[in-house]
Structures are given as structure tokens and as C-alpha cells.
A and B are shown apart, each in its own frame.
Chain A
Amino acid sequence: MPTSLAQPLEHLLQSGQVWRGQTHSLPDNELASTGYAQLDELLGGGLAYGHLHEVQLPLPFVGELQLVRHALQNAAVQSKPVFWINPPAQPQASCLSRACGSDAQHVVLENLAEPDAVWAMRTVLQANCAAVCLLWLAQPGAHDVRILQKALQGQQGLGVIFCTPMTAEARSYHTRLRAVVEQSQLRWQIIKRPQGWPTETRPQRMRCWN
């Protein structure tokens, strides 16, 4: 930079008239790893606690549970319950016990109509006693998302909504992911993330929960 330009810039910086952007990273204990290294890297470490995240799925059972596996394990360590609202199938206790231990508490709410499911998630998030709350909802409305996001404000839980792919109109999620399955391979499109433009991961084989 030429000296003639640097001096006025220095002056502006000192006078506080120029805002300097910088990368803001959350501590590790405020993030839950997604289990996908590249996705973690692009999201700044994983899914942030105290926020609402969206995962769009073309089909169920393509690897979405892998995203919250670390969060489920953390919940067991903290002795906090996990809520599953309208899951597409029953979470298998024997599998969860091997991943999270015998003391983990998993509460399943099923066969709820859409308004009840949203109400249930809002109530769970506001109660602030659950570590993770997972909701399966086909097409959540912008108003519902806003309500849930407000319910999580100042709380410590992790809220994740699994839905079908939808247009990228603005929603008040912290993170928006979309799974794309092509030729038995999975890649994650990041529609929204806190500190970067939309991007996507490389295709990779679907991960297996062992």
C-alpha cells in the first residue's frame, strides 16, 4: 500500500471510523461436531449450541443422525435428556446405549400434528433442561422457525429441524444444510452459515453409525 494512502487509513482506524471484520470462533464446548470433518471446517467447528439449525433431506436415513451424534453423546455426559419429536422411525435404544451409555435419557414424542410438534419443541427449548431437541417437520413455516429461534435465545440447548428440501428463502436459522444424494454418495450444501457464503462439501460415501 502506498505511504500516502496508508497514513489516512491509519488515521481513520485510530479514530474508530473503520470497522475491522475478524473471524469469530466459538469455544469448542459451545459447538457440537457434525461428524463430517469438511463440514465442521466450513461451519467453524460444528453446530453451535443455543441456536436453531435446519437440515433439509431428500430422503430420510441418509446420514442425518450422524450430524447430531456428538451432541447426543455430550448430552449423556451432561446428564441431560434428548427429545425426539415426530422422528421417522423409533430411535433404537440398544444402539443409543452403545453410543451414549446407559444413563442417557431419550424422550420420544410421536404422532403429533404440525402445530403440536412446533409447540412441543418450543416448550422443550424454553424449559432449557434438554441438551438436544430434534424435530422432523416436512415444511416448517417462517413464523414457526422464528418462534423456535426466539425460544432458544439465551438457552443452552441445540435445536435441529429436519425437513424436506425447500426454496432458499430467508429463515432465522443459524445454519441451514441440505443433503444431496447422488450415485450413493452424499454431499452437504451449506445454504446458510454464520460466517461465510453458501458452499458445499465434496461428495463422499454415506457414513455408517457404528
Chain B
Amino acid sequence: MQPWAYLYLPALQLDNLQLMHPALSEQAVVLYSDASQLVIQANGAAMEAGIQVGMALSDAWVLAGDLQVFVHKPAFQRQLLEQLAEQLYQHFADLALDESHGMWVRLQAMQRLFASEDAALKALQAQLNGLTSCIRTGPTALAAQLLARSPQSYAPGDIDVRQTSLSAPLKQKLQRMGLQTIDHLQRMPSATLGTKLGLELVQFLAQLHGQQPLGLSFFQPSGVFKQEAQLAAEVHNWNGLRFPLNRLLLGLEAYLRSRQQMTRCVEITLFDRQSQQQRVRVNMAEGEFRAAQFYTLAQLRFEQQRLSAPALILRVEVRTFEAMQAQAATLTESTSGSAAMPLGALLNVLQTRLGRACIHGVAVGEGWLPECVQQRVPPGTPLLKVAAGWRPPWLLEPQPTEIAGWQLISQPERLVEPWWCHQERALRIRDYVVARDEHGRRGWIYFDHQSQGWFIQGWLDG
């Protein structure tokens, strides 16, 4: 097994764009540099029309009338590369990113996991679903990189010096000296090369032969999920976001599944032309990991919320995770034939549409005052314990009431508010009684000794 593999991704941003918008695959599409107005990446249809990488954008327009053009963004491409590295990190421990077009994979460290080089390369290839790529292996990191970037070369010696990362003046000098390939350089004595052509070339050859390390910094996963998609056109409403959002959420599901994790908060950010952000946070009562559920909840949020400006970039981000819980499911469907949605999923839907403040559960708490015993808890929480004493089924915030309208029908029950709850440190006594109002309804009222007033705090339901 060769110790190094290099994964070259010459059209990562374009591939991602086509993956998010499959309709673009049938049209000629190019990415161009905003500064130089040159074509940086071109898809198959554009190549067929005669467009080549490095061509002026104006020439490309002449060759394909229905050409779709997008600005090449090195920073965005770098982010896509990091996303891919996050994915590959599940299978390969040592990855090193190379600017924005490729990455090194150290196969030597994976010998115990993969029996052969072919098995390792197959595993690598399987992760590159739909991406234009070239994978080559080599004895050193630099050799693998040079081979991957020159797919027609069989050995590092065959590679044209113009395709190396050497500086432009040095390349020109080599051309003038008739040194066309790396093989030509290798035949020259290194001392002569150093004297005539400088240290840069000597270091290059030393790195190629593995005598000097390339100085790679290995990739460390960030611990958060963050993926972006470039939209094909400015999106004004939810319909335009559906497909790319679904792709990103499928990526999120794969990320969570592979780590056996769930989340309660997905943050969706839209960037407009001026890079202004509009953030939509999908909060859930229960942890979730399924893309379909995230999608339903996001749809509920976007139906409530209008886009403040046309969006050009969509980002999905998850920062908080929790361990995946086994979800209880019945083995048989209900007798009516309609399967039941899990309670957690239902609560997520309700909470997303109605807001977190509108939905809660009730439980029995500690203490003896009604307002202490009644606990507001997250929805789905059981009552927790059985209360000791009798209480009416309805509870109100205490409201002043006129005793003249009530007919007392029970013995009083005295409850004393804890002294530590008040600044005056005095005992506050309440005498509760059941009383009937003029309609015959039974209320739960009390006399507060402190304020010398009557209050109603509950109803007995008839």
C-alpha cells in the first residue's frame, strides 16, 4: 500500500451547485473569477460547447448562448472541502486540506482498517457521490498530489514542470534550459541544481523524494454541523428553498446518524446579496435526527415568516447535540389502521408553529401551597407523583373576590405561606374554603389574613 493518496477536486463548487439544483446539469454552466473574468470551472455541457477553463467569460458567452454563469468563491469552496473532510473523517483519520481544491489522505495509518490499497480507495470513492475527482496514490505526499493533478502521467517523473507548484520565474527558467519534466530534473545533480536554480527547486525535489516533510496540518473536525448551499437564483419564498434545504437536511441526518446523536435546535440562515443574514431557528421539544421531521418543522417556520430579502446562500447549522435515544414504537399498528405519530414528533410540530411559550405540561411539585405544588414542566413530562391531599381540578391565579356573593359549604383548611418567602419574615396565613356562587358553581376561595381579603384560586367543576 502506498503511504499517501491525494484527492483532487477540480470543480467542487460547480459540482455542489449541480447537486443542489439538478436542472443545471442539462445546461452549460461555468464559474468565473469576479476579478479576472476568466472561466474557473465548467461543466460537461459547457465543455461540449467548446468552453475551456481559463477562457475569457466573454468568449464563453459566444460559444453558448444559454450559458449559466456563477461567481467562483474560493472561501465557499474551502468550506465545501471542509464539509467533505468532516464526512471522510468517519473513515480516514489523517486528512490534510490543500487550499480549496484537494486533500491528502494518509493511507499508512489506515492499514489495519483496509486490507489493501484498492479497498481504501474504494471506500474513499464511495464517499464522493457525484463529485468530479481524481484520486492518485504515491510514495510521498507531494508525489501523490502531482499525479492527481496530472491524470495522464503514470509516474512523478513524467509530470511536466509547468504543472507543479514551483514559482512562475523558476518554471520559465527551467523551460529555457530544456528541463521539461520532473524526470529531467531528477537526472541533474542536486548540488548543480541548487547552485544554478536556487533553494526552491532543491526543496521541491527533497519533498518529492520524502527527504523533507511537506509541512501538512491535519484536519480536526469542528464538532458542529455547518453546511451551506449556493442557490441557483435569488429566492423570494419557501418554494425556492425546498430542494436545497432538503439536501442539506439529508446531510444533517447522515451526520447525526453516523454519530448516534440528535439535536433540539437547527439554525437555518439565509444570506442575501449584501451578505445580510436572516436567521430562522427551529427549536424542538424532543431530540430529533430525521431529515423529514426537520423539513416539516422548517416548513412550518417558513410558512409563518416572510423572507426579509431575496436569498442567495442557504446555511444549516447545528451546535448542540445529545445522545440518540431509542424511540418507543409499537410493533403493531393501531386497530384503525392509522399509525400513530410519536409524541415527541407531535410536540415538535406544535412547538415550532405555536412557539415554545404556548405549550407546556403540568406536574406535581414540592410544597403545600397550590402555586408551589402546580409545576409548569416541558410538555410530555408525566405528573411525576400522586399528591397527598384533595385539590380542585381547576387552578387560577389568586384573584380578589367579594365574599358577599359566596355561600360557604365546607370546613376551612389553613395553609401557611413559608416565612422565608417574604421580606417581612412574618407568617402569612390563608384559610381555604369551598363556597357556592350565585349560579351554584363551587369555587375554592381563601381568606388572606395579611391583606384581610378574600381571593378565589380554583373551581371544583360543578
Chain A positions within 8 Å of B, measured between CB atoms, are 50, 59-66, 81, 88-98, 100-112, 116, 119-120, 123-124, 126-130, 154-156, 181, 183-186, 205-210
Contact = CB atoms under 8 A, between A and B. Distances in A.
Given A59-B441, A94-B373, A66 B462 contact: yes
Interface in B145-169: none
B458 interface: yes
A209 B390 CA distance: 10
A183 B440 contact: yes
Contact of B359 (A91, A100, A108): A108
B3 interface: no
A100 B387 CA distance: 11
B390 A210 contact: yes
Contact of A62 (B364, B385, B386, B439): B439
A154 B336 contact: yes
Contacts, number: 193
A103 B370 CA distance: 20
A205 B362 CA distance: 30
B394 interface: yes
Given A61-B462, A65-B461, A91-B393, A108 B382 contact: no
Across the A-B interface, give the 6 residue pairs with the lowest CB-CB distance, nearest first. Answer: A184-B440, A63-B462, A94-B387, A206-B462, A61-B459, A127-B341
Given A63-B461, A109-B354, 16 more contacts: A61-B443, A62-B461, A92-B395, A95-B387, A97-B385, A101-B383, A105-B361, A107-B361, A109-B358, A120-B354, A128-B340, A184-B439, A206-B441, A206-B442, A208-B461, A209-B393
B393 A93 contact: no
A17 B396 CA distance: 61
Nearest to B345: A127
A206 B434 CA distance: 14
Interface in B436-462: 436, 439-443, 458-462
A209 B391 CA distance: 9
Contacts of A185: 440
B354 A94 contact: no
Contacts of A129: 340-343, 346
A192 to B, nearest CB: 23
B436 A97 contact: no
Interface string B357-371: 111111111000010
Contacts of A207: 461-462
Contacts of B65: none
B23 interface: no
B375 interface: yes
B336 A156 contact: yes
A116 B354 CA distance: 7
Interface string B54-77: 000000000000000000000000
B393 A123 contact: no
A141 B159 CA distance: 79
A107 B27 CA distance: 52
A81 B378 CA distance: 13
A172 B436 CA distance: 36
B379 interface: yes
B207 interface: no
